[in-house]
Amino acid sequence: MNKPILRLAIPNIISNLSVPLLGAVDTALVGHLDHVYYLGALAVGSVIFNFIFWGFGFLRMGTTGLTAQEYGKRDRMEMMMILARVQFIAMSIGLLILLLQNPIISLSLYLIESSGEVAEFTKVYYDIRILTAPAVLALYGLNGWFLGMQNAKYPMIITIALNLLNIIFNIMFIYGFGMHVDGVAYGTLISTYLALGLALVLFLKRYRRYLSYYLKHEVFNKTELIKYFSVNRDIFIRTLCLIFTFSFFTAVSAKQGDLILAANTILLQLWFIASYGIDGFAYAAESLVGKFKGSGNQKALRSAIFYSLGWGLILGLTGTIIYFISGNQILHVFTNNIEVIELAQTVLFWTIIAPFVSSICYVLDGVFIGATETKPMRNTMLAATFLIFLPVYYVGTIYFGVHGLWLAMVLFMISRGVALAYFLPKTVMEHIKG
């Protein structure tokens, strides 16, 4: 079982790490500009797009699980129709976002209190990057479908190409043309549409024959659409809670001033780097659990879950060790602002332990998504957000100050992992027996 897990996980880890690498490069580029409010604007802009795009992450996650199950059943027609449906939905949502772009930014800046300079440059960043919406959502669907087809290589190629192009454009716009957050936004815009073109080329190269299974009247098959939206409704709610938690974290940091916002933004980049790496095994679990559920292979399903969790814990521990040894040095890579570095150092401990304590919930998310057992994911996320994160934050900050915010985030991750582990034998395991 290690071989198929690593065959799927390694490309996913490589591609996933390029995502926070992009965020890290952007943070470092902007963090070395003259004014700290540029970094604040990038942070607030990222929160807004997390809400917009992560909220529709079900277009990838739900597509992977459902496609993997049809792959296990060897139903080529339904594999193709899942892709057709998700692309129709993605394009529709993308166009709707563009139509609502002005109300979205007005509401966002109203809800996230920040300095006048941060708000001004957040809008500059937003007005450009919002144009990526249709392409981003289409890529979610395509990458999810490739993973469901047990193909981790194509998402790796697409994601690495996207982020390398983005980094190149960002460096060119900032250092070549003297731009700031607008340069980062233009880099994202151009690279996203180039990546979508690459994804379509790769699809035609390997899966062109699946187009023969496309049936126009099946796109709006009521039963299949209800199934798709039922699964993705729970993923959507789960994802909104996750976005809310990170956005709340950033909004609270913004209220405390530009320096604290900058320090916490840098530390969150380190959280994202670790989480995206461990998610490589979560994605492998999605593909394999879905496949084995579809084929009814209980032994292989159990093995996939056990080994994916083991590998996730190993990678999480590795991340913790790296941050323990090199955390202070890493901070200097992101910024040369001494005040920001000193603030970040005071709470670095929470970032050091984060990869290991969060690894279980990351991998189990992949297990439940692959099995399309999404209700436990939804319920545990709601509980972790509103019964753990928020109460711990409000009580913790009274006694521990800024440490209370980080304590809330760590306990949020731990509680998710514990709750999902509790539901695992009663949902995923029991279902496969049936």
pLDDT tens-place values along the chain, 434 residues long: 778 888 888 887 887 776 656 666 777 777 667 667 777 788 788 778 877 887 788 888 889 988 999 998 889 999 999 999 999 999 999 999 999 999 999 988 887 777 777 888 888 889 999 999 999 999 999 999 999 999 989 999 998 899 889 889 988 998 888 888 888 889 989 999 999 999 999 999 999 999 998 888 888 888 888 878 887 888 889 988 988 898 898 888 877 777 888 888 889 888 888 888 898 899 899 889 988 988 888 888 899 999 999 999 999 999 999 999 998 888 888 878 888 888 889 889 999 999 999 999 999 999 998 888 889 999 999 999 999 999 999 999 888 888 899 999 999 999 999 999 999 988 877 655 44
Query: What's the one-letter identity of residue 148?
Result: G
Question: Residue 51 has which token pair?
Answer: 């809400």
The C-alpha atoms of residue 80 and residue 218 are separated, in whole angstroms, by 10
The C-alpha atoms of residue 77 and residue 214 are separated, in whole angstroms, by 7
The C-alpha atoms of residue 405 and residue 392 are separated, in whole angstroms, by 8
Q: Is 66 helix (H, G, I), strand (E, B) or coil?
A: helix
The C-alpha atoms of residue 128 and residue 131 are separated, in whole angstroms, by 6
Q: Is 100 helix (H, G, I), strand (E, B) or coil?
A: coil
Q: What angle do CA 409, 376, 305 make, to 5 degrees?
A: 90
The C-alpha atoms of residue 384 and residue 391 are separated, in whole angstroms, by 10
Question: Residue 141 has which token pair?
Answer: 């669907």
Q: Is 57 helix (H, G, I), strand (E, B) or coil?
A: coil
Question: Residue 237 has which token pair?
Answer: 């709610």
CA distances from 194 to 52, 140, 239, 254, 340 (A): 21, 15, 27, 34, 35
C-alpha dihedral over 80, 232, 98, 276, to 10 degrees? -90
Question: Residue 64 has which token pair?
Answer: 């992977």
- The single-letter DSSP state of residue 382 is H
The C-alpha atoms of residue 77 and residue 357 are separated, in whole angstroms, by 41
Helices (H), 149-257: 153-171, 177, 181-207, 222-255
